[in-house]
Amino acid sequence: MRHYHRISLSLLLTLLLCGAAQAATPEDSVRTSPKRRGTTDFILGGLLGSSRQYYSYSAYARPSAEQPNTYRQHYQLVGIGVAHTWPLLKNSQFTVELQAAVGSTKFSGTNVLPGAGARLYALSPYFEISHPRYYRLGLGADLGTSGYDFVYKPLELAHVRPKVLLEAGVLSKLYLHLSYGHNMLGLGNGTGVLGLGSGFGSERQRLLLGAAMVNSEINAGILSRTTSSFIPVVQAQVWVSPNWQLEPHLASNFDNVHQLRLLARYRLPASAR
């Protein structure tokens, strides 16, 4: 009988220990689940483009009037920046970014502008909330001398220009993109982009096709007319290595508006953060 009780006690102890181990498993798995970490990116970019600008429109305010005399603008800028992203809530992210750009613009074919060119520079803070799979929402500003791109207003200079980004959809498959001034595109000739993009099933590459709207063509006024309101644009985001990402942008109407931008982002390895 004693032997029977010893065996029963041993079995009971074994069952209790197994139950305790199983009960501890969920807590242990939570403790050992990988912790979401922030990321830090360093940014280097360049922007160049050209556009046709229009003189004062006092004699050309009627849509039926002949097109006014024009002059050309050629601009180029280089920029650097840094961005840090923190985990937000369960799956979202919050990014703070600061870019600085400097460059110049040159005018040709004009006899009303004093001088052949001007300096451009901007300091650009930017804030973004995003979900890696479904959306991006960003707001910021370009502060400085952003561009001489006002239609019919030679030497009209923008000192503060907004930066806006909205992307929504399934980013790896199909999404809507709407932006203005994003990633240096507010400089030289302020540019907005409307388009559709896809990652073709991948979260490490994206291609976007759409239309660009540039200040030198769209802010002429209700009674004024320019020649090209919508301009074809293509953008991409491609990871070329675990730490390097390239972001090219090309917009052109193959006539009087041309724009090329290339950004390179270097993400610090996890061991260096």
Beta bridge partners of 263: 45, 247
Q: Tens digits of per-residue pLDDT, 54-96?
A: 766 554 445 445 555 678 889 999 999 999 999 998 899 999 9
Q: What's the mean per-residue pLDDT of the chain?
A: 83
pTM of the model: 0.80
Q: Tens digits of per-residue pLDDT, 35-45?
A: 778 999 999 99
What percent of the chain stands above pLDDT 90? 59
Q: What pLDDT does residue 222 have?
A: 54
Residues 6+ apart with CB under 8 A from 174: 196, 197, 198
Closest of 163, 46, 160 to residue 103, by C-alpha? 46
Q: Is 181 helix (H, G, I), strand (E, B) or coil?
A: coil
Closest of 100, 122, 105 to residue 53, by C-alpha? 105
User: Residues 136, 199: contact at Cβ < 8 Å?
Assistant: no
Report how far residue 265's alpha carbon sits from residue 11's, in angstroms, rounded to the nearest whole number.
Answer: 61
Q: What pLDDT does residue 102 have?
A: 98
User: Residues 136, 167: contact at Cβ < 8 Å?
Assistant: yes
Closest of 79, 184, 169, 181 to residue 133, by C-alpha? 169
SS (H, E, C) 80-123: EEEEEEEEECCCEEEEEEEEEEEEEEEEECCCCCCCCEEEEEEE
Amino acid identity, position 92: S
User: Residues 110, 74: contact at Cβ < 8 Å?
Assistant: no
DSSP 131: E
User: Residues 80, 106: contact at Cβ < 8 Å?
Assistant: no
Pairing type for strands 231-239 and 205-214 reads: antiparallel
Q: What pLDDT does residue 75 have?
A: 96
How many other C-beta atoms lie within 10 A of the C-beta of residue 212? 27
